[in-house]
Amino acid sequence: MSDNPIKIAFIVSSGLYEIDGIENIVEKDIDTPFGRPDKIITGVINGIDCAFLPRHGRGHILNPSEINHRAKIYMR
């Protein structure tokens, strides 16, 4: 991951855990005032810093409503 800010973020569904063309992958645990979402996956695609959040949890283990929606979109 570069020192540049994230330009685009996606809340993704099942099966998008291995994204073709993504480089410099870093997984981050974050806390929000609304709880913990799954790990945020950051990386670079075609020179653009991106972030991905699996909305069901990795392995599709959660119903999306089991993670507070505010935790999924919280920005610092």
Please list the pLDDT of the chain residue by residue as tens digits (76 residues). 456 788 888 877 765 657 788 899 898 888 888 888 778 888 999 999 998 887 766 666 667 676 666 777 776 6
Phi-psi label, residue 57: left if phi above 0, alpha if psi -120 to 50, beta otherwise: left
Determine phi and psi for 16, rounding to 5 degrees.
Answer: -105, 35
Cross-strand partners of 17: none
Tally Cβ neighbours within 10 Å of residue 24.
11
Domain map (residue ranges) of the chain: 8-73
